[in-house]
Amino acid sequence: MNLGLDAKTAVVTGASRGIGLATVRTLADEGVRVVGAARTVTPELKETGAHAVAADLSTAEGVAALMDAAFAELGGVDLLVNNVGGGDDLLPGGFLDVDDAAWGSILDVNLMSAVRVTRAALPSLIERGGAIVNVSSMNARVPGAGPVAYSAAKAALTALGKSLAEEFGPRGVRVNTVSPGVVRTAVWEDPDGFGAKTAAAVGVEHADLLRGLPAAAGITTGRITEPGEVAALIAFLLSDVAGNIVGSEYLIDGGSVKTS
C-alpha cells in the first residue's frame, strides 16, 4: 500500500531506540523528512538519515530546543509522533512507593512533553492539515498492569488525544492514539531496565521473566509485539489513507486487553 507520505515532514520524539527508532525508520522509508528527538542521540538514530536533536523533553527548555531545531531544519511540520515516555527509570512497587518528585517526573515525560510539543507544533499542523499520533499504553486501560504513576500518565495522554481531536479535527488536524502492550524494547530487555528490576523484585532470572511474559500478560498470539509493527500502525494513521480516522485509539497488544 502506498501511504503517500513522501515529501512530508515529521517530528518523532523518543526516537533513539525502540518504537521511536522504528517509527523514524518507517517514515524515512516512506520518503518523509524526519527530525528525531531523544535525550541521548544513538548511532542507530544517526544512521536513519533523520536530523537528530538531543533534548530532554521532560523540560520546557528541552521541548523549545527541539521545536526550534525542527522548524529550522524542516520549515514546518506535517506530522507529529509523541512517543517519548518513561520506562528506564520506572521501579516496581505500589502507590505508597511513589513520592511527589517521582509523580512529577513521570507526568513530565509521559504527558507534559506531549502537551508542550503539540502546543508548539499546532500552528504549523493547522496550516498544513497535518496529523498527530500519541503513543500511549495498554496500561491506560488496564492500570493494574503496571506502575501506578505511569498508568495514570498514559491514561491522561489517551484522554488528551480525544480532546485534541475534538478541538482541532474541524480545523484539519487529525489526532489518534496508539496503545501498545508489551513490546520488545529496552524497557523489558535491557539488563538495567524495568524488566530486569521486576525480575529481581520477584526473585526470578531476567531471562525467565522474558520467556514468561506472553503468558503472564495474557497475550493471545503467544508473542510480544515488535517495534516495527507499532511503527507500521503509526505510519498508517499519519497517512491520508487513514484520512477519516480521528480521535481513535488503537491497541496493539497481541490480545492482552480482553475488553472492548
Active-site residue flag, 150: yes
What contacts 52, CB < 8 A, 6 or more positions away? 15, 35, 36, 37, 38, 41, 45, 46
**Helix residue ranges per DSSP H, 108-147:** 113-128
Catalytic residue among 70, 113, 150, 176: 150
What one-character-per-residue DSSP string does 219-248 give? -TTSSPBPHHHHHHHHHHHHSGGGTT--S-
- Let me know: does 88 contact 187? Beta carbons within 8 Å: yes
Q: Is 55 exposed, middle or buried (0-12, 13-18, 19+ CB in 10 A)?
A: buried
Please give the helix or strand (H or E) that residue 164 lies within, else none.
Answer: helix 148-168
Backbone angles phi, psi at 132, to 5 degrees: -125, 140
Residues with catalytic roles: 150
